[in-house]
């Protein structure tokens, strides 16, 4: 029945499309609705961590068919004193920088090839779990009666409020502004410039383009974002800003529960981590795979557990990194400590990217080394 798919997905962003692909790969019939129509753009740093690239490969999505740039690791720099910097390389595979619209098209192509059906400019405005184990979803394109519903409608999820799932915010939300520059990338790392105003994340996304995401605790005093990051301004003095400047909110928050009956939340709708982690897209793809695994065994409680496990590391990392954002004096000391002990940052990057187990933070003495360096 066209209006009774196995899975109805509200939201055709990265989380919704990844869920649709994973479900279609399992032979489920899938319908996706989105309030917008392609191509869907969004303010983003446009960096996929190695774990995101790996999850994409499991979904059968291969970035080789579109323009993108691999990056080998991450470098932190003090935006006011560029000599204070630290860098680490990924030990296993590189990450990739890719324009958000190209990533969206890539996911869309894969979903189309698997027979996923789409209703664009369509919103879900009421949902209910019925006694016979189905869902009734009222949408602007008519009534649907799917077996499962996935809410993949982002940070301000309507599905989340319709089913009354509560959020636990951590700290304040921050403002992100994305700008592309036409310039040959000067690096094959993602660079994060730290200033007392916030951070600028620089990602090479093609042979002739950089993406810069500026992220602030409060509205910046100027639209000349580069002037707040002198070291980056010096780097990009010959670069031309191109395309549309976009803004979005970013925040870290979690939900006690991400399922209700046969309805599950996925991606930013199910809790989020601050953009500073670079992990938002990896979470979307990993959660999508976990959700479909649970649907295929008809047991959403296993998704609840998998979701908690997948989110644990990025959430911890975001708490640690946001301390550096909140206390600029601490941030300057941490960057100096990284410069003094060059092996420290690569070790922390391995923890962040999941190449090493989290317990090494304590038992491997990493935290102790950092605290010891900070006390000088």
Ligand X SMILES: Cc1cc2nc3c(=O)[nH]c(=O)nc-3n(C[C@H](O)[C@H](O)[C@H](O)COP(=O)(O)OP(=O)(O)OC[C@H]3O[C@@H](n4cnc5c(N)ncnc54)[C@H](O)[C@@H]3O)c2cc1C
Residues of this chain, 302-361, that bind ligand X according to CB under 6 A: none
CB of 2 to ligand X, least distance (A): 19
For the bound state, the minimum distance from the C-beta of residue 193 to ligand X, rounded and expressed in Å, comes to 14
Give me the 169-198 binding string for ligand X, x by CB under 6 A, dash otherwise: -------x-x--------------------
Nearer to ligand X, 13 or 333 (CB): 13
Q: Is 123 in the site for ligand X (CB under 6 A)?
A: yes
Binding residue for ligand X, selected from 7, 20, 30, 46, defined by CB under 6 A:
46
**Residue 34 engages ligand X in binding (rule: CB under 6 A):** yes
- Residue number with CB closer to ligand X (149 or 231): 149
40 lines the binding site for ligand X (CB under 6 A): yes
Question: How many CB atoms within 10 Å of residue 328?
Answer: 15
Least distance from C-beta 117 to ligand X, angstroms? 15
Q: What is the closest distance, in whole angstroms, from the C-beta atom of residue 58 to ligand X in the complex?
A: 16
Query: Does 35 contact ligand X by CB under 6 A?
Result: yes
Q: Phi and psi dihedrals of 333, rounded to 5?
A: -70, -40
Sign of CA dihedral 35, 36, 41, 42: negative
Figure out which of the listed residues 75, 110, 158, 315 binds ligand X, where binding follows CB under 6 A.
Answer: 158
From CA 74, how far away is CA 63, in angstroms rounded?
20
Backbone φ and ψ of 8, nearest 5°:
-105, 130
Q: Which residue, 12 or 344, is less far from ligand X as judged by CB? A: 12
Stretch that binds ligand X, among 55-63, 151-159, 254-262, 333-341 (CB under 6 A): 151-159
Q: Is 45 in the site for ligand X (CB under 6 A)?
A: yes
Query: Which CB, 41 or 233, lies closer to ligand X?
Result: 41
Q: Which of 279, 336, 274 is nearest to 310 (CA)?
A: 279
By CB under 6 A, tell whether 16 contacts ligand X. Answer: yes
How far apart are CB 334 and ligand X at their closest, in Å?
A: 21
Segment near ligand X (CB under 6 A); pick from 8-16, 57-65, 301-309, 367-375: 8-16
Least Cβ distance, residue 366 to ligand X (angstroms) = 24
Q: Of these, 7, 84, 236, 281, which contacts ligand X (CB under 6 A)? A: 281
Sheet of 124-129, strands arranged across: 124-129, 135-139, 142-144
Residue (40 or 232) nearer to ligand X, CB: 40
Interface segment toward ligand X; rule CB under 6 A; list 63-71, 281-289, 328-336, 352-360: 281-289
Least Å distance between CB 227 and ligand X? 19
Q: According to the 3-state scheme, what is the secondary structure of the chain?
A: CCCCCCEEEECCCHHHHHHHHHHHHCCCCEEEEECCCCCCCCCCCCEECHHHHHHHHHCCCCHHHCCCEEECEEEEEECCCCCCEEEEECCCCCEEECCHHHHHHHHHHHHHHCCCEEEECCCEEEEEECCCCCEEEEECCEEECCCEEEECCCCCCHHHHHCCCCEEEEEEEEEEEEEEEECCCCCCEEEEEEECCEEEEEEEEECCEEEEEEEECCCCCCCCHHHHCHHHHHHCCCCEEEEEEEEEEEEEEEECCCEECCEEECHHHHCECCHHHCCHHHHHHHHHHHHHHHHHCCCCHHHHHHHHHHHHHHHHHHHHHHHHHHCHHHHHHHHHHHHHCCCHHHHHHHHHCCCCCCCHHHHCCHHHHHHHHHCC
13 contributes a contact to ligand X by CB under 6 A = yes
State which of positions 48-67 bind ligand X (CB under 6 A).
52
List the beta bridge partners of residue 199.
Answer: 194, 215
To the nearest whole angstrom, how small is the minimum distance from the Cβ of residue 18 to ligand X?
8
Q: Which of residues 210-269 bind ligand X (CB under 6 A)?
A: 213, 215, 248, 250, 267-269
Query: What residues make contact with ligand X under the rule CB under 6 A?
Result: 10-16, 33-36, 40, 42-47, 52, 123-124, 152-154, 158, 176, 178, 213, 215, 248, 250, 267-269, 275, 278-282, 284
């Amino acid at each position: 029945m066209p209006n009774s798919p196995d899975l109805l997905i509200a939201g055709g962003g990265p989380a919704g499309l990844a869920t649709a692909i994973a479900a279609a790969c399992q032979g489920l019939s899938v319908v996706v609705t989105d309030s917008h129509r392609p191509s869907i753009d969004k303010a983003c740093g446009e960096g996929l961590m190695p774990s995101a690239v790996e999850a994409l490969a499991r979904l059968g999505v291969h970035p080789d068919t579109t323009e993108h740039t691999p990056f080998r690791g991450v470098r932190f720099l003090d935006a006011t004193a560029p000599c204070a910097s630290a860098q680490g390389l990924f030990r296993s595979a590189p990450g990739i920088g890719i324009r958000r619209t190209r990533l969206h098209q890539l996911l869309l192509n894969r979903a189309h090839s698997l027979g996923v059906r789409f209703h664009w400019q369509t919103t879900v405005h009421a949902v209910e779990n019925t006694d016979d184990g189905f869902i009734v979803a009222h949408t602007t394109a008519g009534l649907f009666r799917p077996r499962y519903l996935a809410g993949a409608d982002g940070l301000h999820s309507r599905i989340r409020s319709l089913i009354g799932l509560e959020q636990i915010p951590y700290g304040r939300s921050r403002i992100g502004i994305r700008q592309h520059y036409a310039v040959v990338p000067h690096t094959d790392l993602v660079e994060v410039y730290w200033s007392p105003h916030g951070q600028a994340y620089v990602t090479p996304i093609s042979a002739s383009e950089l993406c810069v995401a500026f992220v602030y605790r409060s509205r910046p005093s100027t639209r000349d974002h580069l002037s707040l990051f002198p070291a980056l301004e010096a780097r990009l003095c010959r670069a031309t800003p191109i395309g549309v400047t976009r803004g979005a909110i970013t925040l870290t928050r979690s939900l006690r529960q991400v399922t209700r009956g046969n309805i599950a939340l996925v991606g930013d709708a199910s809790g989020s981590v601050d953009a500073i982690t670079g992990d938002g897209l990896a979470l979307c793809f990993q959660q999508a795979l976990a959700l479909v695994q649970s649907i295929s065994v008809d047991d959403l409680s296993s998704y609840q557990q998998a979701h908690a496990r997948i989110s644990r590391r990025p959430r911890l990392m975001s708490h640690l990194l946001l301390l550096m954002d909140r206390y600029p004096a601490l941030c300057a000391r941490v960057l100096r400590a990284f410069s003094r002990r060059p092996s420290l940052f690569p070790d922390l990057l391995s923890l962040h990217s999941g190449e090493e187990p989290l317990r090494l933070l304590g038992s491997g003495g990493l935290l102790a080394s950092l605290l010891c360096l900070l006390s000088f």
